[in-house]
Amino acid sequence: MQSVEYRSPMNVSQQELFAWHERPGAFERMVPRWEDVRVLEKIDGIRDGSSTTFLVKVGPLHKKWVARHIDYQSPRQFKDQQVEGPFKSEVHTHLMLPSSDGSENRSILVDRVDYEPKLGALGRAMAGGAIRRNFDQMFFFRHRRMQNDLARHDRFKAAGTKRILISGASGLIGTALRHFLTTGGHQVDTLVRHLPRQSKGEIVWDPLAGKIDSDALEGVDAVIHLSGESLSAGRWTADRKKRFEESRVKSTDLLARTLAGLKKRPEVLVSASAIGMYGDRGDEPLTEASPPGTGFLPDLCQKWENAARPAAEAGIRVVHPRIGIVMSARGGALATMLPPFKLGGGGVIGSGNQYMSWISLDDLIAVIHEAIFNPQLSGPVNATAPNPVTNRQFTKTLGSVLHRPTFLPLPAPVVKLVFAEMGERLLLEGAKVFPARLEEIGFSFLHPTLEEALRSELGRQTIPPMWGEAYVGA
């Protein structure tokens, strides 16, 4: 039997640390985004006899993993025992201990895994090093993620828990945001177009038809509006451009007018926008005070933001995060780029001089959370990291993190031929955007540089020696 153990201090009480693990979304928050894990079924939380079933990628194949929860001892521990999965046997002990200094506001998180690879000694010889490296990366990520999440929730703890409504909750951003908020103890409801399941907090709407269950919105404290058809789904035909606009402008107008007419209006509407507002601006430094650009995307973004005016005029604080290129291994631009880069087929696009104003998914979630609770934020807020890069710099950094060459360029004529206007606007044009409003209020980025963000997303983190010496053992 092999064993690994990881310990980290947490700046919350033992009780709060245990409570975090019991809340909806905890498992999803602990799964690294570079791991191809798909949850199939979750039954009854983490108490004895409950279970989680998921698919995990082992080599080129997906394998079902069933973990049964045992030895539940609140607020001290619970265990996951593999019933079916990639190991011959495996037990993961989640242990939450009081702080050694007796502080009520600190605790210690311990993750211990006792496992036996398949094929016995041969399995240990063939996969032992890889398994250990995977555990090191995974638990370093998980402990840092938990520390950061707990600290962010603690920042606005005095505000209490809220009832928060999200549109676009099944998308890349909405899914991560929902799990983050529920682990903070907030009630999260979602707007859906199908028959709503009230037990899941679903509220029906049909933006294009102008229909929404306004009665169900009464009592909502905050609304996060993220829905809108993807701009990178294919060539920009006239019909698709119309859908881009309708999915954003009509939905925002319906939501803003409905919220303005409620008996008890929400405190805040966080209505997404994009750095497409600025258009193609070369190396001009851009902040929220910069004027819009010209062309289809700036026009779309202006209509999108203007559609929220009824809410602002009704006294609701409205925040427009102008979202940059989101770095996530689960979706968006980075996920699209990864396959060719991993095969050594990556390279600069066009001239490589166009700016990419990006943000890590974790920092974007933090920005939205800040927008919900911080009354200093209203109007446009650039949701981008403080260090934009050119496409050439991005290519070099991603290649370096993956240890892959990047010598196969994608010339501009090829981009225009294959992707037409969509390729020109999203791949060949750029804007050098800075998060001036966030910096003014002292917002702290988890991933201020691209390399930090990519390493966290792709499981290529540099684990500090002291962390390993102090908290990792076998």
Instruction: Identify whether residues 144 and 202 lie together within a single domain.
Output: no
Query: What pLDDT was estimated at residue 139?
Result: 95
| Cα(76)–Cα(339) distance, integer angstroms | 42
The answer to whether position 465 is within a domain reads no
Q: Is the pLDDT of residue 470 over 90?
A: no
Question: Same structural domain for residues 225 and 294?
Answer: yes
Structure token pair of residue 220: 């909502």
Q: In whole angstroms, what is the distance from residue 185 CA to residue 172 CA? A: 21
pTM over 0.85: yes
Q: Residues 421, 346: contact at Cβ < 8 Å?
A: no
Q: Which tens digit of pLDDT belongs to each residue from 337-391?
A: 999 999 999 999 999 999 999 999 999 999 999 999 999 999 999 999 999 999 9
**Mean pLDDT, the chain, whole residue set:** 93
State pLDDT tens for residues 278-291.
999 999 999 999 99
- Specify if 215 maps to a domain: yes
Average pLDDT rounded to a whole number, residues 109-117: 94
Confidence band (pLDDT; 50, 70, 90) for 122? low
In a domain, 471, yes or no: no
Do 176 and 151 lie in a common domain?
no
Token pair belonging to 142: 């998980």
The answer to whether residues 99 and 42 belong to one domain is yes
Q: Which of 266, 21, 313 is nearest to 167 (CA)?
A: 266
Chain length of the chain = 474
Q: Which of 223, 222, 240 is nearest to 231 (CA)?
A: 240
User: Which of 128, 155, 182 is the last residue before a domain boundary?
Assistant: 155
Question: Which of the listed residues 155, 180, 208 is the one where a domain comes to its end?
Answer: 155
Statement to judge: residues 87 and 111 lie in one domain:
yes
- How many domains does the structure of the chain reveal? 2
* 107 and 148 co-located in one domain: yes
pLDDT tens readout for residues 171-216:
999 999 999 999 999 999 999 999 888 888 999 999 999 999 999 9
Is the pLDDT at 82 greater than 50? The verdict is yes
User: The domain spanning residue 366 has which CATH number?
Assistant: 3.40.50.720
Q: Which residue has the tokens 């360029």?
A: 409
Pair (151, 175) in one structural domain? no
- Split at pLDDT 50, 70, 90, the class of 125 is low
How buried is residue 144: exposed, middle or buried, by Cβ count under 10 Å (0-12/13-18/19+)?
Answer: middle
* 150 within domain boundaries: yes
Strand partners, 317: 268
User: Domain of 118: which CATH number?
Assistant: 3.30.530.20
Mean pLDDT (whole number) for 265-270: 98
The reply to whether 151 and 178 lie within a common domain is: no
393 lies in some domain: yes
**In this structure, are 104 and 164 located in the same domain?**
no
Domain that holds residue 439: 157-458
228 found inside a domain? yes
Question: Do residue 244 and residue 112 come from a single domain?
Answer: no
**Dihedral Cα 454, 458, 462, 467, nearest 10 deg:** 120
Question: Is 466 inside a domain boundary?
Answer: no
| Judgement on whether residues 80 and 174 belong to the same structural domain of the protein | no
Contact indicator for 257, 310 with CB cutoff of 8 Å = yes
In a domain, 28, yes or no: yes
